[in-house]
Amino acid sequence: MELLSLLFMSSCFLTLSRLTFGDQSGTSVFVKEGDDAILPCSLGTNENIEYVRFEWMKEGTKEEVFTCDSGVCYSPALPDRVSHFRDDLQHGNASIKIKNAQLEDEGIYTCSFPTSGKTFRIELVVGAAEPYVTSHDQINGGVLLQCDVKNANPKPTVEWRDSNNQIIHSEEPQVSKQGGRFYITLKATVEKNGRYRCVATQEKIHHQAQKEIHVHIYGGPVIVKDGADAILPCSLGTNENIEYVRFEWTKERTEKQVYIHDTGADYSPALPGRVSHFKDDLKNGNASIKINNVQLEDGGNYTCSFPTSGKTFRIELVVGAAEPYVTSHDQINGVVLLQCDVKNANPKPTVEWRDSNNQIIHSEEPQVSKQGDHVHITLKATVKKNGHYRCVATQEEIKHQTQKEIHVHIYEPNTRWKIVAVVAIVLAVAVVVGILVRRYFKNKKKTNKKECSAQELKLNADQSEPV
Ligand SMILES: *[C@@H]1O[C@H](CO)[C@@H](O)[C@H](O)[C@H]1NC(C)=O
Ligand SMILES: *[C@@H]1O[C@H](CO)[C@@H](O)[C@H](O)[C@H]1NC(C)=O
Ligand SMILES: *[C@@H]1O[C@H](CO)[C@@H](O)[C@H](O)[C@H]1NC(C)=O
């Protein structure tokens, strides 16, 4: 198989001895539809046959395919499609070429020299396998590759191979046979960017042909929350300048025209004023658009197509990225109630409260309600310890996770009483001290007054004594 690949890497047609008819050696020529077929016929004697009559006929018909006589040649059955090789006549070579071989040209041809009575038989098979490849973008990542081989005979084997020449897993091939010809369709889904080849091999005739396709995969759906701006990616992947190439964005099911870019004019009939493209990226074949202020009803599958080249890309817009909102409510008896609300989420998220060690903490049963495709979830938990707590919303299907943090500071009841007691004691002491101080000063004033009067009296008494 490997040797075959090496020997016959290029798509081509080959001539090989396969059949023998009695004692004459015959030849089979395999071409694919539309190719030119060279039917060989040579006397093998190097005799100059420029002026010798030879006749090409198709067996089973009375058709004169090509006749040359004394240098005059004509092809009544296939006018203008048959020619010979003038220079080769000198060497006894009467080969002909049939242009643009059609399925109905298939058959056994005879090349005969009436003067010498020699006849050669050549089989023409218009059945060389030729693969045609297409790719279809899948929603949520992955590309479906399809390989079609038509009108092949003999039956080919068909494989998808990656850039390392490894056969990749494909679906069961769909094979049908019609009029001796085989039709084969082989599909494979790939999830990696790269080049892939569909290889068709017809062992019997040592023929191998292949077609390559380049795969560029987008990373799944675009997920935004309502009110945000969404960028829908679309790129030809060829770096071709598309400033003056028409491309159209439509929304599936609604068939609404979301955005049309045509030689310089842009319009967005379905979402007027809300859609724009990236001017600078057009030069690189990038037809991405931005939708402003996305609403729930904007969610869905969009197609980006290039009518001139027939290329279409699909991208899903999910307006449902979960976004948690957290609140806390102080409770009496030293606990705090945490509440997490996730609104308009799609797909349904799982919601958890986690502590600063990333451990899930015990919560109440979540309250879940639905509105269309969108889910609202409320999750409550009571905590008794100080710290950071996070509400984490996870949407597994779309590999989306968001979180909000809240800081909890609890006044423990013990501490509160202690503070009250200390404050009360301090206040009481202050009051008592105050009263005592006041009373002391009052007493002191009274005593002073009494002493004063006593001294005055004494003084007066001294002054009244005669000298
Ligand atoms: C006869 O001529 C054809 C066309 O040039 C060539 O392909 C073929 O090999 C020749 N046959 C022989 C035996 O020389
Ligand atoms: C196309 O352009 C958009 C907007 O600038 C950008 O986000 C995106 O990555 C581009 N895509 C490619 C394949 O370059
Ligand atoms: C988008 O397409 C995918 C698969 O083709 C399908 O599962 C999904 O339901 C579609 N979404 C909408 C909103 O139509």
Structure confidence by residue, pLDDT tens digits, 167-204: 999 999 999 999 889 999 999 999 888 889 999 999 98
Q: Do 131-215 and 324-408 show the same overall fold?
A: yes
For the chain, which residues make up each domain, given as ranges?
2-126, 131-215, 222-319, 324-408
Residue 165: the pLDDT is 94
Task: Tell me the CA–centroid distance for residue 369 and ligand 3, in Å.
Answer: 22
Q: 213 or 17: which carries more pLDDT confidence?
A: 213
pLDDT higher than threshold 70 for residue 63 = yes
Domain 324-408: which CATH number of 2.40.70.10, 3.30.70.260, 2.60.40.10, 2.40.110.10 = 2.60.40.10
Sign for the pseudo-dihedral over CA of 156, 160, 166, 170 = negative
Terminal Cα distance for the chain, rounded: 157
Rounded CA-CA distance 97/420 in Å is 112
Model confidence pTM above 0.75: no
Handedness of CA 422, 423, 428, 429 (dihedral sign): positive
CA 377 to centroid of ligand 1, rounded, Å: 80
42 lines ligand 1 (CB under 6 A): yes
**38: Cβ below 6 Å to ligand 1?**
yes
Centroid of ligand 1 to alpha carbon of 39 (angstroms): 9
Give 7's pLDDT tier (boundaries 50, 70, 90): very low
Q: Ligand 2: which residue has its CA nearest to atom 1?
A: 286
> What's the rounded Cα separation, in Å, for the pair 109 and 57?
6
Parallel, antiparallel, or unpaired for β 324-330 and 367-371? unpaired
Kindly report the average pLDDT of the chain as a whole number: 85
Which atom of ligand 2 is found nearest the CA of 235? 13
What atom of ligand 1 comes closest to residue 38's alpha carbon?
Answer: 7
Q: Which residues contact ligand 3 via a Cβ below 6 A?
A: 139, 299-301, 316
106 CA to centre of ligand 1 in angstroms:
21
* Ligand showing the shortest atom-to-Cα distance for residue 218: 2
Strand order in the sheet with 387-395: 350-354, 387-395, 400-408
Q: Which ligand is nearest to the CA of 231?
A: 2
Distance CA 149, CA 182 (A): 8
Give the list of residues 6+ apart from residue 428 with CB closer than 8 angstroms, or none.
Answer: none
Architecture of domain 2-126: Sandwich (2.60)
Q: Are 149 and 127 in contact (CB under 8 A)?
A: no
Looking from the CA of 300 toward its CB, the CA atoms found within 13 Å total 16
- Tell which wins on pLDDT, 34 or 8: 34
CB-based contacts of 224, cutoff 8 Å, min separation 6: 230, 294, 317, 318, 319, 321
Which class does domain 131-215 fall in?
mainly beta
CATH number of 222-319: 2.60.40.10
**320 Cα to the center of ligand 2, angstroms:** 22
